[in-house]
Structure 1
Amino acid sequence: MKILVTGGAGYVGATVTRLLLDAGHQVDVVDDLSRNDDRQIPVEANFHQVRVQDIAQVLTPGSGFDAVLHFAGLIAAGESMTHPQWHWDNNTRASLALLDAIQAAAVPRLVFSSTAAVYGEPEEVPIVETAATNPVNTYGDTKLAVDRAIASITRASELGAISLRYFNVAGAHTCTDGSMIGERHTPETHLIPLALDTAAGLREKFTLFGDDYPTPDGTCVRDYIHVTDLAHAHLLAIDAINPGEHQIYNIGNGIGFSNKQVLDAVRQVTGVTFETETAPRRPGDPAVLYASSELAQRDLGWKPMRPDIEAIVADAWAFNQLGRRSVMGPSLT
């Protein structure tokens, strides 16, 4: 297939691009490099430095793409509460421009990178796809709006789409040549890479946001999924798309780990004891989020192969020790 990947310079997008190329697909990557550089884009992919808002420059009638995998967007829930306009522009408005271009180019398949944040504070866990959607942050609001737009468009056309609602992605992907793809967000807001930076001495101390949640140890509980497992779900999703249908699948381990448990895993893996300070809760952080992935296992034939939190942290630590660099591609900087 000829496949277009938006946000392909990012952590998940680059990992999926690598797996698509390994599977023999032709891949074009679109990324504006506003939050990444090009170091993790596989050199075999055709790269276009374009904003998704301007995707029609690449996704043109007659361009011959068989599928679009849409990862581009902002991901920091805390930032979405302080700068909501950024998220509405980069997540929702850009996605609507992409949907327009997909229809104009007659692309038959779309896989959308959605999020567990659409569920907000769930009434029950593990969370199933039929659970109520009630986001508690702007990030979740913007992603849910795109899910709804996709549902409307698939009902009115032959476009087939699958939304994959991620839980917390972590770890690092090891490529066949021994290089690695890992988290390199700018700015970094995710717990595991921040804790590993602290263990590596790159940060003076780790800040834990909130220890008064209604959970066993007072800290947030999250479902951590290995990035390679998540990437495999996308390849399976492409083949499971039906024309004129929009399907939604949760992709997670189905296991909840508290922030304190994750920090303990980081200390165990690295052998480093580091200082932790507690700060107030961040706005828009639900107390507990973990998935039921039974539907994805049944329909897609997918299951997590790396569910152990220590193994996930160990892969992320290996990437950290490589200097958080990938040797996969040239740098524009």
Structure 2
Amino acid sequence: MTVLVTGGAGYIGAHMALALLDAGETVTVLDNLVTGFDWAVDARARFVRGDAGDSALTARLIADHGVTDIIHFAGSVVVPESVTDPLGYYANNTAASRNLIEAAHAGGVKRFIFSSTAAVYGMAGDEPVREDAPLAPLSPYGRSKLMTEWMLADLAAASDLKFGVLRYFNVAGADPQGRAGQSTAKATHLIKAACQAALGVRERLDLFGTDYPTRDGTCVRDYIHVSDLVNAHSVVLDHLRGGADSVTLNCGYGRGASVREVIDTVKAVSGVDFEVRETTRRPGDPAAIVAGAERLKSELGWTPHHDDLEEIVASAWAWEQALRRRNA
């Protein structure tokens, strides 16, 4: 059995490949290296440079490498960018995913796990949002992901494909062993950006919006450690391999931290009082979104091991320091 990890040279995909390899799986990584890095791919994996939407390429990989399972991370993920470039997001996320799903179906792949997003819920409010909440994405990014969820559900209804859809909240942190982390220089993730500001890589940190209806006026998000997130994928993969039905599940801890709270934590961990510039809201950002993740725990037995904001920040800070030394 081979697991194909698309986007496996990127942030979450590289961590997923490590977790699979550590568990003794045979892994093929497919990545076009637009935002990923070839050095982030563990030497134990096969690496192929290419696009997940290239039907001919993915069909060959499935046949030649004996792919039985696909975990699909490849795609574009910046909400404000999706607002200014919607067609690019529908091409890179929805259309490319459609081609990959078609190749998987034609090649006899029976299990497909998809990296989705809490952005499918839109403006969810202060209470934890559950999987049965209304789906009302505010951005083309969220809509592009939701369309892929629909495609998987429709194909599963017409075939023997089983899927797992994991709706991420805010992923952060780095591999506790220091083997992988968020490496994109201009990434928009708050914790990474704050760590870069603390290191002086960024001149300052911009705080987008201070007038939201939240406890301190800034956005509230549910931050999940990347290692706990990839473990959730492993749990879902085992669930599907055991013959269980397809699942759509939230991935988060069930509580949120505000932007100001995250900034304060980064300052405390790093010991640096970096500059923060308050500015206007970004388009497409909901005020608060926190995971109702009880199903992942109760139905599949998932247990988080890094559920602590300070630990998440400390691992991100350690990775950012290592990355700076690497790039020096």
Same fold by TM-score greater than 0.5: yes
1:325 deviation in Å? 7.1
CA contact (8 A) 1:159 1:243 kept: no
- C-alpha contact 2:126 2:288 (8 A) present in aligned 1: no
Deviations 1:52-86, CA, capped at 9 Å, x for gaps? 11143243364421100000000001100011111
What does 1:68-147 align with in structure 2 at a 5 Å threshold? 68-123=70-125, 125-147=127-149
1:46 corresponds to: 46
- Bigger RCO of structures 1 and 2 (CA < 8 A, at least 6 apart): 1
- Report whether the alignment pairs 1:311 with 2:302: no
SS where residue 148 of structure 1 aligns?
Answer: helix
What is the alpha-carbon distance in structure 1 between the residues aligned to residue 233 and residue 59 of structure 2? 20
Partner residue of 1:238?
237
Contact 1:5-1:70 at 8 Å conserved across structures: yes
Q: CA deviation at 1:38?
A: 0.9
Aligned to 2:295: 295
1:192, 1:313 within 8 Å by CA — same for their partners in 2? Answer: yes
Aligned to 1:197: 196
RMSD: 1.6
1:180 matched to 2:179? The reply is: yes
SS in 2 for 1:19: helix
Quick one: structure 1 residues 5 and 285, their matched pair in 2 at CA, closer, same or farther if it must change by over 3 Å? same
Q: How many angstroms apart in 1 are the aligned matches of 2:173 and 2:125?
A: 29
CA apart distance, 1:44: 1.0
**C-alpha distance in 2, partners of 1:245/1:146?**
18
- Per the alignment, do residues 128 and 324 of structure 1 end up closer, same or farther by CA in structure 2, a change over 3 Å counting? farther
Q: Quick one: distance in 2 between partners of 1:89 and 1:223?
A: 28
For 1:214 and 1:208, locate their aligned partners in 2 and report how far apart those are by CA, in whole Å.
15
Which of 144, 156, 159 is equivalent to 2:158?
A: 156
1:59 maps to 59
Partner of 1:281: 281
Contact 1:157/1:244, CA 8 A, preserved across alignment: no
**Deviation for aligned residue 1:255:** 1.1
Quick one: which amino acid aligns to residue 48 of structure 1?
Answer: V
Map of 1:330 onto structure 2 = none
Unaligned runs of 5+ in 1: 328-333
Cα 1:104–1:78 change in 2 (3 A) is same
- Letter in structure 1 aligned against 2:180: I
Corresponding residue of 1:208: 207
Q: Comparing both structures, which one devotes a greater share of its residues to helix? A: 2
Instruction: State how many pairs are aligned.
Output: 324
Partner residue in 1 for 2:8? 8
Residues 35 and 62 of structure 1, relative CA distance in 2, 3 Å threshold: closer
- Structure 1 counterpart SS, 2:12: helix
Deviations 1:100-159 (A, max 9, x none): 100110001011000000000115621100000000111100000000110000000000
Call closer, same or farther: CA 1:162–1:22 in 2, change over 3 Å: same
Range with bigger deviation, 57-66 or 285-294: 57-66
**Does the Cα contact within 8 Å between 1:180 and 1:326 map onto a contact in 2?**
no
Distance across 2 between alignment mates of 1:168 and 1:188: 13
Q: Structure 2-normalised TM-score?
A: 0.95
Return the alpha-carbon distance in structure 1 between the equivalents of residues 266 and 49 of structure 2.
Answer: 35
The aligned amino acid for 1:310 is E
Counterpart code for 1:233:
A
Counterpart CA distance in 2 for 1:229 and 1:34 is 25
- 1:305 maps to amino acid: H
For residues 167-224 of structure 1, give each alpha carbon's deviation from its aligned partner in whole angstroms, at most 9, with x where no partner exists: 100000034xxx4211112531111111111111112211100001010100000000
Cross-structure match for 2:272: 272
